[in-house]
Structure 1
Amino acid sequence: MSDHDEESMAESETDSEIDPSELTDKELQEAFSQGKLKPGLNVVLEGKPIASNDVNGLKQSLLNFKKDLDWLERLDVTTAPVPDKTGQNGVEGTQNSDINAEDDFQREMCFYRQAQAAVLFALPRLQQFKISTKRPDDYFAEMAKTDHHMQKVRQKLQAKQQAMEKSEKAKQLRALRNYGKKVQVEVLQKRQKEKSNMMNQIKKYQKGLSDKLDFLEGDQPQKKMSGAPGKKKGPSAKRKYKDQKFGFGGRKKGSKRNTKESFNDVSGFKASVAHGKGPHRPGSKGRKNANKRPGKKVRQKIKNKGR
């Protein structure tokens, strides 16, 4: 191996060790002064490339992929927009060249008039070739989705609707349950309040603080007499007798004991009743023994006589 080859190998090894991305500006300057930097590492930009407008080449490329087909196969329409009879602000005769591209309204109106011109050009030609331009009333287009796919969609929609209905029913049941609990609590509170009020009224009556017994009737409406409307009907004779006999509330213990006044009152005493000398039937020994049962021997004698 010659000395020249060894130097070239050493230079290549030295160049391979140098990574331009990791070198600083000072190291780059030293490498440039030693001749270790070679052309191609630094690219000098001379500016943006200028695009060439090759008109003949573009036309040739258009002819290469263009096909000679009938108009019915292509249905392409290239026309100028319909002339605007009333221009902007009511001025007649606005030309296409006068349209401002930056004005959104004028630009959209230009597109509209161009589509209108295309329709006016295409419809007569289609009618000339006897091609219908309206869909018949009994036209049914083929669906893009299969019947199996639409059936799956229908089942999914039905399942979703049923889930929504179940959820709505559950909400209604919860609302009714909560309302029922609320009503039940109100009824119990009302009953407790009425019971407490009645107990208070009873205690007042027992202590003699009140002589009214309207609280015993509860919330039942008072019946009015037909002869005297507006007046309360008094108690019946039967009710008065029972009240007089049994009482109607108050203390009952010791109520039948004799007092000094009752002991001395003899207005209701009847000797005939007290000694059993009241009226009796003929042939009887007295009212006391009128219903007395005969003895066993007498009954046996009566039984033997009947045989």
Structure 2
Amino acid sequence: MGIGVLIVDDSSFFRQQIKAIINAHPQLTVVGEASNGREAIEKAIRLKPSVITMDYEMPMMDGISAVREIMRQQPTPILMFSSLTLKGARVTLDALDAGAVDFLPKSYERVSGSNSSLKQVLVDKLLTLAKASSAQQTTPAAPPAKSTASTKRYNQKFDLVLIGTSTGGPVALQKVLTQLPAGFPSPILLIQHMPGSFTGAFAERLNTQCRIRVKEARDGEVLRAGEAYLAPGGMQMMLSGKGKLKIFEGDARLNYKPSVDLTFGSAVKYYSKHCLALVLTGMGADGREGARLLKQAGSVVWAQEGRTCVIDGMPSAVVKANLADEVVPLPEIAKRLAEVVR
């Protein structure tokens, strides 16, 4: 049986364009459409789709309210469509807090044209979210995952913490960073796959929630202990010296902007074995090769435990390459960081 998709949008034009893209794929089928949040909830419960695409601004009930209610009554992977504006970024972050798992920029021009890359991204996200959800549902119930080395100690001092993530990352980062103490002794670099118009709003949100300071990184910035620096979306972030950042557009051949591999790899020259790098939830394998370079230099690499990930692609790539010193469930990461970074 194919993967059923429920499309929720008050624009009939947008629904029809998305429907055509989805139905053109042999594994995907549109099982229903809704034009407002209330209708979305009713159809989510009745049709039980594998995945839902969701707009925000709709009559009768907005998308965030619908996401929250669907996750309460009929938990389903939800992909948000959002505008590339500051307001759109804040709304999307609210939707992720409410339970949506990923998002795509909403563009009438791109979805109605012949943009094959956009269509492929949409299809890939729908397939990945549906399959990840199906795998979680069919996995036998197990006790809460435990860290593979919850009492492990390290000889070196960690002068820099690096965290790379993608799908599911905004919520994962929030859970980790909000639990860190105000006096955290090292700077933290955050690499989250996210559009450029979103990272400023995300850093601003984290800063209001955390005891450490969180900011969007700037070119030439000098790192300070107890501060976290979020790589700007659409740009690359690397170390240009010990404790100094370089922000630049980067090579078009790199798949991700920002790239976890690039930031991780750049830390080797200046920090050698004094890095602690974490790879959290996300699609693909970004971070694996950067983790390999850090490991070769003697630094430490952790991966998020798979059952606590939205998508286990990035962490499992690190684990399968035998690069993870620890595999840590998301709820334990902040505690472990506080224990070993001194």
TM-score by length of 1: 0.17
Query: In terms of Rg, which structure is larger?
Result: 1
- Structure with more strand by fraction: 2
- Structure with more helix by fraction: 1
**Structure number with higher relative contact order (C-alpha < 8 Å, ≥ 6 residues apart):** 2
